Homo-oligomer: A and B are copies of this chain.
Amino acid sequence: MIDTRFFNHKGSLTISQIAEICDAEVITTGKDDILINDINTMFDAQDGEICFFYDRKKKAAGAEIRATACVTTPELASLVADGVIILTTNSPKVAALKLKEAMYEERKPQSKIADTAKIHPSAQIGEGVSIADYVVIGANVIVGKNTVIEPFAVVSDGCVIGDNCRLGAHCSVAYTIMGNNCYIYNGARIGQDGFGFETINGVHKRIPQLGRVIMGNDIEVGSCSCIDRGALGDTIIGDGCRIDNLVQIAHNDKMGRGCIVVAQTGIAGSCNFGDYVVCGGQTGFADHLNIGSGVQVAAQSGVMRDIEPGNVVMGTPCVPFKDYMRQVSFLQKNSKK
């Protein structure tokens, strides 16, 4: 049961409505008009609720389902407990996403600019924008339509923020040109100085960081993640990238479209990523690397060299996945002698 203190329930749906939303086939006949009130996990769903069953590792739990209805795959359908109304689809995860959207509404603050927001007179604020209490917006900032800015966010002088963005509480955005539909989570840090200095007679002298952060459309940057601006030239994040929490992206990194960067990954400066690169959690990249499109780097790996497109690598220093597994097995076997 979803907690309606936090999420707005839009209303119950019949099995046939759900089948349409989920693009699923109703296997159990004669139940099309049964009403489903809520969504829940396959373990917790009760009477009146629907669940989703697609995890093959949890096959045995299918028989324990107590929901009124269950969306599953044709393959797993036979494992669902008797009496549960079954719907099937080849994409139960997508179905779950769609049903969640259909049954619950994301709360969005009213379009309104709080009196306590400090907005420089030269800033241009688009239609439908919501600016919460205690937001600071600098000179010449441009904010696109319908963007939501949460309490204590800071957007520094000269930044451009696109339409339909969301800047979370306590985030800071500086020296940044951001596209549309970007979601910056609470406490993310975008555009601060990169970590650059020259050591002259034992003094680490800061190198002026004269670049920017250029962000495409449809990007997410997680809580407490940091994206430093370029030293000369820009740090660039491509359309559709998903950056998790506590990630470090250094100056002059460039990411293509759709890259996925899991939590606590660190990417040193001047790396070039292709499209749809996937970085597992806590991975690290040395500086100035070229990482080809479609590369997948397993969690905790350390990348010290360029990687050709499409490779799947693991370990520190990372090697192809199969080689890593061989290394692990060799070491485990031989060290026991």
Contact = CB atoms under 8 A, between A and B. Distances in A.
A258 interface: yes
A66 interface: no
Interface in A287-332: 288, 299-300, 302, 316-317, 319, 323, 326-332
B100 A208 contact: yes
Q: Is the interface of A mostly helix, strand, loop or mixed?
A: loop
A193 interface: yes
A185 B189 CA distance: 9
B323 A327 contact: no
A284 B266 contact: no
A145 interface: no
Contacts of A132: 136
Contacts of A106: 208
A128 interface: no
B323 A299 contact: no
Contacts of A39: 210, 232
A148 to B, nearest CB: 13
B187 A224 contact: yes
B281 A300 contact: no
The size bracket of the interface on A is 35 or more
A163 interface: no
A316 B332 contact: no
A244 B268 CA distance: 11
Contacts of A11: none
Q: Which 10 A/B pairs are nearest by Cβ-Cβ distance?
A: A5-B158, A330-B335, A189-B223, A100-B208, A248-B263, A226-B245, A327-B335, A326-B335, A172-B186, A195-B244
10 contacts: A7-B210, A94-B198, A116-B118, A118-B133, A154-B186, A169-B172, A186-B189, A192-B245, A264-B284, A331-B331
Given A94-B200, A203-B240, A319-B332, 12 more contacts: A6-B212, A57-B288, A106-B208, A136-B152, A154-B169, A154-B186, A195-B244, A195-B263, A202-B276, A222-B226, A266-B281, A326-B336
Interface of A: 2-3, 5-7, 39-41, 43-44, 57, 93-94, 96-97, 100-101, 104, 106-107, 116, 118, 132-134, 136, 140, 150-152, 154, 157-158, 168-170, 172, 175, 185-187, 189, 192-193, 195, 197-200, 202-208, 210, 212, 218, 220, 222-224, 226, 228, 232-233, 240, 242, 244-246, 248, 250, 257-258, 260, 262-264, 266, 268, 276, 281-282, 284, 286, 288, 299-300, 302, 316-317, 319, 323, 326-332, 334-336
